[in-house]
Amino acid sequence: MADKDAPTENNNTSIDSNAQSENDNEMSIDALARKVQESLSLSKRHKFWETQPVGQFKDLGDTNFPEGPIEPPTPISQVKQEPYNLPGPYEWITCDVDSEEVCSEIYTLLTNNYVEDDENMFRFNYSKEFLRWALRPPGYFKSWHIGVRVKTSKKLVAFITGIPAKIRVRDAVVVMAEVNFLCVHKKLRSKRLAPVMIKEVTRRVHLENIWQAAYTAGVVLPTPITTCQYWHRSLNPKKLIDVGFSRLGARMTMSRTIKLYKLPEKTVTPGFRKMEPHDVPAVTRLLKNYLKQFAVAPDFDEDDVEHWLLPRENVMDSFLVESPENHQITDFCSFYTLPSSILGSPNHSTLKAAYSYYNVTTKTHLLQLMNDALIVAKKNEFDVFNALDVMQNETFLKELKFGPGDGKLHYYLYNYRLNHVLKASELGLVLL
């Protein structure tokens, strides 16, 4: 399945631009259909997806189809038992991310060949700790961590992964695979490996009696359930401008820009502290209750919360608000660490980026909680804080001086139909 675009600040707007039309994130079915009509030359690229059980562009707006699975499950005995055929020089391997050697190979492949921005200035740089966290949630299957090697040299040249997840779509909780990290070595992009890899991960998912999947992509495929926009909040504006991530705004000097983005030294919310293991039950309750309001959201239990949300150095930061009066946990915020390699800058090699994850408020205003998150991220030497306009994020983006980026992220469900494209604010799911 597919993957996302590396986000960059929108270079067509000044760094402090707030100009953004009200309806940006409301991608109506009509608008999406128009977009598709305008780009019918894309249809050549969708030959593969037109054979798959996904929402098709031609059916957009047709509410006669029932929501839910597009194809019924087949008996496991009828699922293809042998891997799909690869071109002659290549072979499948199952990647053991516990192995230091294999994890290093995956890291090297992704660092040199994974998602770049449109101008080829930045490329995601997932750390080995991040990869192990992302690929080993409760109940994960090793067989879903799939690599392609060159038979002769044993070099790892392609990679794709799935992890199991319980995702609620409206009122139904569906066990799905979250498919991620589809990466093919730059020199092999013409070999048509990606469709075979997608079919192979799908086959392995089916062998576990799982028939649905969720994934994201920076490109429009048949057919997004929603489209989100990346927003960026400068924490180190001088560096961001130096490396070409941002531009100096019209009539702005560097010193005025630095002053514009300056944050307080200390967080302001009483009882704001780092999440600890004993907080897992309270955070699970907060999160479950909060996520009920969204059309598509994860169905987390305590094991999931322990895995995904407990702080991990250089991977995950989670903070909560514990009421000084009654010690109730009332609010929660989290962000993960995903640096990008800076390509071609003489002075800087890494952009340290924080990505907003799950945030819940019941007592503190979301604006205040997220400002505290920005303060903590700045203190921890992050250069930029990124957020998608999902959930209730739109309520704080402009106010906290986030600017719209040029990265769009499209969300997809495999073998599951929704009759209406969702607004970004109806989505309660963040995929890494």
Q: Give me the numbers of helices (H) and strands (E) for the chain, helices first please.
A: 10, 17
CA–CA distance, 389 with 227 (Å, rounded to integer): 9
Q: What are the beta bridge partners of residue 320?
A: 273, 332
DSSP symbol at 73: -
CA–CA distance, 363 with 195 (Å, rounded to integer): 47
216, 413 contact by CB (below 8 A): no
Backbone angles phi, psi at 143, to 5 degrees: -65, -15
- The tokens for 392 are 């209730």
Q: Cβ-count burial of 23 within 10 angstroms (0-12 exposed, 13-18 middle, 19+ buried)?
A: exposed
Q: Give the DSSP H/E element, type plus range, for residue 163.
A: strand 156-169
Q: What are the CA-CA distances from residue 107 to residues 112, 114, 128, 152, 320 (Å)?
A: 9, 10, 6, 21, 32
CA–CA distance, 89 with 215 (Å, rounded to integer): 29
- The tokens for 432 are 């890494």
Identify the active-site residue in 135, 366, 409, 432: 432
Q: Give the DSSP H/E element, type plus range, for residue 318.
A: strand 316-322
Nearby residues of 368 by Cβ (< 8 Å), 6 or more positions away: 268, 269
Q: Smallest Cα–Cα separation from 283: which of 312, 310, 323, 313?
A: 310
427 belongs to the catalytic site: no
261, 378 contact by CB (below 8 A): no
Distance of CA 178 to the CA centre of its chain: 10
- The tokens for 331 are 């609010």
So which residues are the catalytic ones?
432
